[in-house]
Structure 1
Amino acid sequence: MSTTASNPTQPGANAHANQFALLAQRRFAPFFWTQFAGAANDNLFKFAFTVMVTYQLQLSWLPPAQAGLVIGALFILPFLLFSATAGQLTDKFEKVAIIRFVKNLEIAIMVLAAWGFWAAQVPVLLGCVFLMGLHSTLFGPVKFAYLPQVLDARELTGGNGMIEMGTFVAILLGQVAGGLLVALPGIGPTVVALACVLLALAGRATAQAIPLTVPTDPGLAINWNPVSETWRNLRLAHGNRVVFRSLLGISWMWFFGAVFLSNFPAFAKDVLHGNEQVASLLLVVFSVGIGIGSLLCEVLSRRQVEIGLVPLGAIGMSVFAIDLYFASRALPAAPVMGLATFLAQSAHWRLMADLALLSLFAGLYSVPMYALIQLRSQPTHRARIIAANNILNALFMIGSSLIAGALLAAGLSIPQIFLITGIANALVAFYIFLLVPEYLLRFVAWVASRLVYRYKVRGDEHIPTDGPAVLVCNHVSFVDAVLLMAASPRPIRFIMDHRIFKVPVLGWLFRLAKAIPIAAQKDDPQAYEKAFAEAVAVLREGDLLGIFPEGAITRDGQLQPFKGGVMKILEMARAQGVQAPVVPMALTQLWGSFFSRIEVREGQNVAMVRPFRRGFFSRVGLNIGAAMPQAEQAPQAMQQRVALLAQTS
């Protein structure tokens, strides 16, 4: 983890109670407010300009019906043209210097736009839309590459949640302010011009307070050809399967969101029979939902990058998008309603709830994906990966507009488009989770640790955030591996008795997790040696290896002697130049639960009978100790450490 130039301490040293405490820290707060001011200014400017062209000016060459589309297209065009270059610049140069340059550029653009508003020069303002798109294109890679450089892995979810929440609140406030200010009689455009310049100055002032960082790839040679560099960035992202699939997942979320956001005005007018205030209410509800969902991510993830929330988010997005169709399809024709009349009708509250929950789950879906990309991307290439994400986002949003327009032209209603989008979301999500089973595995682990048990983890900071490590744990039940997965911010490859793969559901789950089956040497020597070779390969690739050294699930709740297989793996790894720390951990209070062997039936200890014998949400825990130095890495010493951890309540 890189440190800032002005603060030599590691980011993790700045402990905080929750994500809101980041707003009191210099490494985060100035950056947050710089992003907030920029997002607010973008949207104040664009929305005020759109309203002015639509309601106040009569232009034969730019009809009101086309104004929003033209402005939106001009803003998004720089993302396609210059994202690849922006990613290179961010990887090569110091990020705060780029932020300050971009904010200087924003001031210049807003001064030009101020003259455009004052003189009603629409061509100048259209040029400023393109330039503000360029401003956002340059800032995009910095925004997501800066955070992992100043926040540690356990702060990324909370930091991204705060940025996502702040961005949508800024979008909302900017659009509301733009609409209100430009409508002021006689002075509207002038006030908008002043507000845009002041916001640009405020963003530059906060950018000055951001602490300097260290360039991640100062020797990078810039390729100024946007076409070849865009293709190179996409190939670079494709090299990491989990990251690339996550990029596609985020881009799909923007596709999904664009369908709703672009159709709010027509949906409010033609389906809900509401006026402009009702359309604004839809935007408010959507933005607040995204903000709440983004903030909930840290609460639901125990301050780690919890991609198990992504399937939960996808499920909620589909469920409430589909219910929005059923809630809106049968609304009777009515005169155009104002906000008070609209809210007075109970049928509309279901619509608002669907929209709020849909967007809340979209926040749960997107924030862990952004954090995962930041965590798993190579630091020297991180900004270029984000640039590839911005390119894909732009393409998906353009595709969203084209497809929604085609469906409307084919005679489908807006509620029907929402229904199709909700069903398509379920299919796309299912496909992504099959391609990257880690999402599904983390979801199962998240459900087990939150809904099946009351699960408390102590010492999770001892799990390394990068590099190889061997995790040794007592073996209490059939779901031990699932609970360990829930506690780790990184995937774990487990060595497991080959017989567990025959257990229904659990066997499928562990095969999906690429667990390594092992058999006794006397039973299957070939499988025995293959398991050790695979285990060493896991460490050689820099991943986590999970082992239950007792060799079998305990039948009496007591810790059994550790076998020597773990030492064979460590010695084989060292012979190949791989030094892997051993992290001891102990599951507690799990003995006696549904998945442990406790019931005696005809002299046999069996598991998975009487599912509620300990009631609902029984307490279980996981205690994790500090890594053991190489001199102490012996089976008996590991057993003693695990036994000591098991006694800690």
Structure 2
Amino acid sequence: MSNSSFVLLRQRKFLPFFVTQLSGAFNDTLFKSALTLLVTFYAAQYGGLSSAMASNLIAGVFILPFVLLSATAGQLADKFDKALLMRSIKMFEIVILSLAAFGLMQKVAWLLYLCVFLLGVHSAVFGPAKYAYLPQHLSSKEVVGGNGLVEMATFISILLGSLVAGELVHHGEQGVIVVALLCLVVAVVGYAASRFIPSTPALQSLKMNWNPLSETARNLRLAREDMAVFYAMIGISWLWFFGAIFLTHFAPLAKEMLHADERVVTLMLATFSIGIGVGSVLCEKLSRQQLEIGLVPFGAMGMSVFGIDLYFAIDGFVRSGVDSGALMGLGEFLRHGGSTRLLLDLFLLSLFSGLYSVPLYAMIQTFARPTHRARIVAANNIINALFMIVASVMALVLTQLGSNVAQIIGITALLNVLVAVYIFRLVPAFLLRFLAWVLTHLLYRVTFVNRQLIPASGAAIMVANHVSFVDALFLMAASPRPIRFVMDSQIFKIPVLSWLFKKLDAIPIASAKDDAFLLEAAFLQVAHELEDGQLVCIFPEGRLTTDGEMGTFRAGISKILSLHAAPVIPCALQGLWGSFFSRKYGAAMSRPFARGLFSKVQVVVGAPIAPERATPERLEAAVAALRAGIQ
């Protein structure tokens, strides 16, 4: 994570919020982890349920308030000052954990399950306020880093809560008392921190709808107004399904398959949490401080690969022989030959989960309407909860059908492949951004100059020199928002790729000689996209260069501006001539190692040019000047 993100920890707009969030996540984990261990390894004293049944019951009881209350919580966060709302929630947390302390000390199982439900209420109400708070106080450049810090803090809290719970429960009655008191102390610290969160007033007046069903339906309709936001919500909810399967099965996995004690459960939780934290931190580094949805497919691939391998790692561990007598301690587990692969799979699986999740959360915060942001987050929480409930039901059904924990994990990893393919088929931009990310991070050494000059919203036209078949991917990587590309109709018609181009709203164009009707239709479609506030990109030369030099800019740009005036952003590409994707050696893509890997490429963005001054000659000169200034 960049130093600029950690600077937020010294600012009042972020630090008190950060501590408040961290304390709540720590307490949730400490209490739920301690209770899960107690009902798994000391079942007779805490209700007598089987470990698998108790783990899924805790998960289900915690999730239920997200279904029941998220719609109302979203309205509260949009209607009232978010800082005041968070302080009230933290005060409620102190009451909950006072009851929980009594339940732990007296071994009152029903009260402990009630407190899990109440902590779910606490989190369901806190969530929309939390995610709506960040974009109201952070700049567009800080949102990804701020989300990364929050995700990192969340999973550091999970890590610490899991470690502390495991160690204290291992020490018996005295340890349980310390868990009870520690939860109370941390709740008080969280409330104290919340007192310093700066005022965050509502962005609009709002009449409350207390009917959760109708409000939930309305929130989902709001979310579907921008399908990119809605699909991001589905992607996040799938991650919660995926994570719920793993987190609820660590205890039964350790006890029933690995024959290991509660400290091994803690180690697995810690490994998972560290991986998520590392992935969240890496996300900003890999995205170069901007929203990079190309990391989502990368994360999904890693989740599937290492999830499937985890199944085989567990199977290999069991086949190599485990003592069916006394449970293995931590040292004995680590000395076992199969533990390294198992833990490495778990770490990498969670690391890729972090890469998957952060861009999706940032996408919702960036593109959701500011006045409805908290309710969009609430709708996301509802979908998350439904997915987690389905995960619990699926796990229970598979358990009843005779599946063991390893098989449930393997089935979930395979489902991840199918879900990822489905989501990326719905939103091909994820895959194209992934290809752009691979090109700009792994295959070439790319420098972006003045990319901040590309407007984050509003109608605009990008113009660039045309060097290779991947120019669009480099421009896509430079832009903070989707681009509507105008492209040659012959390329647009290529089988399979045609489907992709249509999904990306690309605009086919032809010369007047080849298809005068299509040419006019393309101009009208560009005008329509500009009227809709979109960013459109054209290559005014009309063809790829065959000698590495710029061709003459054609008059099409003037026709477009006559239909809809918009600022024009000149861009220059340098370093792609002679690459695999250029025509330096004749046909493109015929000499894959012509320039080798990691060649230097620069994408330079110029200052916007007013539409009345954007003649083809002036734009050609502007792009040429940008090329001339490239080092």
Instruction: Give the TM-score taking structure 2 as reference length.
Output: 0.93
Give the whole-Å Cα distance in 1 for the aligned partners of 2:416 and 2:213: 30
Quick check: 1:313–1:365 contact (8 Å CA) kept in 2? Answer: yes
Give the whole-Å Cα distance in 1 for the aligned partners of 2:538 and 2:398: 53
User: Which residue in the other structure is 2:94 paired with?
Assistant: 107
User: Which residue in the other structure is 2:233 paired with?
Assistant: 247
Give the whole-Å Cα distance in 1 for the aligned partners of 2:92 and 2:420: 39
Map residues 190-201 of structure 1 onto 2, 5 A cutoff: 190-201=177-188
Instruction: Deviation per CA, 1:381-417: give whole Å up to 9, x if none.
Output: 1111111111111111111111112112212232222
User: Which residue in the other structure is 2:536 paired with?
Assistant: 545
Give the whole-Å Cα distance in 2 for the aligned partners of 1:347 and 1:625: 56
Instruction: Deviation per CA, 1:617-638: give whole Å up to 9, x if none.
Output: 2111101122223453222222
- The reply on whether 1:135 has 2:126 as its aligned counterpart is no
Fraction of identical pairs, as percent: 52
Residue 46 (structure 1) shift: 2.8
Quick check: 2:440–2:477 contact (8 Å CA) kept in 1? Answer: yes
Residue 431 (structure 1) shift: 0.7
User: Which residue in the other structure is 2:322 paired with?
Assistant: 334
Moved more, 240-249 or 108-117: 108-117
Counterpart pick for 1:392 among 376, 383, 386: 383
- The reply on whether 1:22 has 2:3 as its aligned counterpart is no
Map residues 90-169 of structure 1 onto 2, 5 A cutoff: 90-118=77-105, 120-169=107-156
Q: Which amino acid aligns with 1:489?
A: P
Give the whole-Å Cα distance in 2 for the aligned partners of 1:58 and 1:343: 29
Residue 269 (structure 1) shift: 2.5
SS of the aligned residue for 1:522 comes to helix
SS of the aligned residue for 1:155 comes to helix
CA gap of 1:196–1:501, structure 2 versus 1, over 3 A, is same
SS of the aligned residue for 1:97 comes to helix
Counterpart pick for 1:44 among 14, 26, 30: 30
Quick check: 2:509–2:519 contact (8 Å CA) kept in 1? Answer: yes
User: Which residue in the other structure is 1:515 paired with?
Assistant: 506
User: Which residue in the other structure is 1:573 paired with?
Assistant: 564
SS of the aligned residue for 1:450 comes to helix
Quick check: 2:135–2:366 contact (8 Å CA) kept in 1? Answer: yes
User: Which residue in the other structure is 2:300 paired with?
Assistant: 314
Quick check: 1:157–1:304 contact (8 Å CA) kept in 2? Answer: yes
Quick check: 1:79–1:394 contact (8 Å CA) kept in 2? Answer: yes
User: Which residue in the other structure is 1:4 paired with?
Assistant: none
- The reply on whether 1:621 has 2:599 as its aligned counterpart is no
Give the whole-Å Cα distance in 2 for the aligned partners of 1:262 and 1:113: 20
Give the whole-Å Cα distance in 1 for the aligned partners of 2:290 and 2:108: 50
Q: Which amino acid aligns with 1:111?
A: S
Q: Which amino acid aligns with 1:598?
A: K
Map residues 199-598 of structure 1 onto 2, 5 A cutoff: 199-217=186-204, 219-330=205-316, 331-335=319-323, 336-501=327-492, 509-574=500-565, 580-598=566-584
Q: Which amino acid aligns with 1:589?
A: G
SS of the aligned residue for 1:400 comes to helix
Instruction: Deviation per CA, 1:228-286: give whole Å up to 9, x if none.
Output: 11122122222321111211111111111111111112222333232222222111111
CA gap of 1:423–1:189, structure 2 versus 1, over 3 A, is closer
Give the whole-Å Cα distance in 1 for the aligned partners of 2:182 and 2:297: 41
User: Which residue in the other structure is 1:577 paired with?
Assistant: none
Give the whole-Å Cα distance in 1 for the aligned partners of 2:263 and 2:179: 20
Moved more, 635-644 or 246-255: 635-644
User: Which residue in the other structure is 2:69 paired with?
Assistant: 82
Residue 346 (structure 1) shift: 3.4
Moved more, 557-566 or 132-141: 557-566
Give the whole-Å Cα distance in 2 for the aligned partners of 1:504 and 1:477: 20
Give the whole-Å Cα distance in 1 for the aligned partners of 2:169 and 2:334: 26
Moved more, 238-247 or 393-402: 238-247
Residue 307 (structure 1) shift: 0.7
Quick check: 1:223–1:229 contact (8 Å CA) kept in 2? Answer: yes
Quick check: 2:37–2:262 contact (8 Å CA) kept in 1? Answer: no
Q: Which amino acid aligns with 1:127?
A: L
Residue 37 (structure 1) shift: 0.5
- The reply on whether 1:176 has 2:167 as its aligned counterpart is no
Residue 595 (structure 1) shift: 1.3
Moved more, 105-114 or 452-461: 105-114
Instruction: Deviation per CA, 1:435-464: give whole Å up to 9, x if none.
Output: 111111111211222222221111111111
Q: Which amino acid aligns with 1:332?
A: S
| Ranges in structure 1 where 5+ consecutive residues have no aligned partner | 1-14, 575-579, 600-604
CA gap of 1:62–1:381, structure 2 versus 1, over 3 A, is farther
Quick check: 1:273–1:333 contact (8 Å CA) kept in 2? Answer: no
Moved more, 324-333 or 514-523: 324-333
Quick check: 2:428–2:500 contact (8 Å CA) kept in 1? Answer: no
Residue 58 (structure 1) shift: 5.2
SS of the aligned residue for 1:523 comes to helix
Q: Which amino acid aligns with 2:272?
A: F
CA gap of 1:433–1:185, structure 2 versus 1, over 3 A, is closer
Give the whole-Å Cα distance in 2 for the aligned partners of 1:240 and 1:84: 18
Moved more, 369-378 or 551-560: 551-560
SS of the aligned residue for 1:583 comes to strand
CA gap of 1:38–1:162, structure 2 versus 1, over 3 A, is same
- The reply on whether 1:637 has 2:618 as its aligned counterpart is yes
Moved more, 181-190 or 247-256: 181-190
Residue 189 (structure 1) shift: 4.5
Give the whole-Å Cα distance in 2 for the aligned partners of 1:615 and 1:76: 52
Q: Which amino acid aligns with 1:538?
A: E
Q: Which amino acid aligns with 2:68?
A: L
Instruction: Deviation per CA, 1:277-318: give whole Å up to 9, x if none.
Output: 222211111111111111111111111111111111111111
CA gap of 1:102–1:233, structure 2 versus 1, over 3 A, is same
Instruction: Deviation per CA, 1:346-394: give whole Å up to 9, x if none.
Output: 3321111111111111111111111111111111111111111111111
CA gap of 1:350–1:593, structure 2 versus 1, over 3 A, is same
Q: Which amino acid aligns with 1:136?
A: S
Quick check: 2:465–2:540 contact (8 Å CA) kept in 1? Answer: yes
SS of the aligned residue for 2:446 comes to strand
Quick check: 2:20–2:191 contact (8 Å CA) kept in 1? Answer: yes
CA gap of 1:507–1:555, structure 2 versus 1, over 3 A, is farther
SS of the aligned residue for 1:517 comes to strand
Give the whole-Å Cα distance in 2 for the aligned partners of 1:535 and 1:406: 52
CA gap of 1:163–1:92, structure 2 versus 1, over 3 A, is same
| Ranges in structure 2 where 5+ consecutive residues have no aligned partner | none
Give the whole-Å Cα distance in 2 for the aligned partners of 1:200 and 1:457: 45
Quick check: 2:561–2:611 contact (8 Å CA) kept in 1? Answer: no
Quick check: 1:255–1:396 contact (8 Å CA) kept in 2? Answer: yes
CA gap of 1:534–1:96, structure 2 versus 1, over 3 A, is same
Residue 64 (structure 1) shift: 6.3
Moved more, 396-405 or 48-57: 48-57
| Pairwise CA RMSD | 2.3
Give the whole-Å Cα distance in 1 for the aligned partners of 2:171 and 2:263: 17
User: Which residue in the other structure is 1:12 paired with?
Assistant: none
Instruction: Give the TM-score taking structure 1 as reference length.
Output: 0.91
CA gap of 1:55–1:359, structure 2 versus 1, over 3 A, is closer
Moved more, 388-397 or 56-65: 56-65
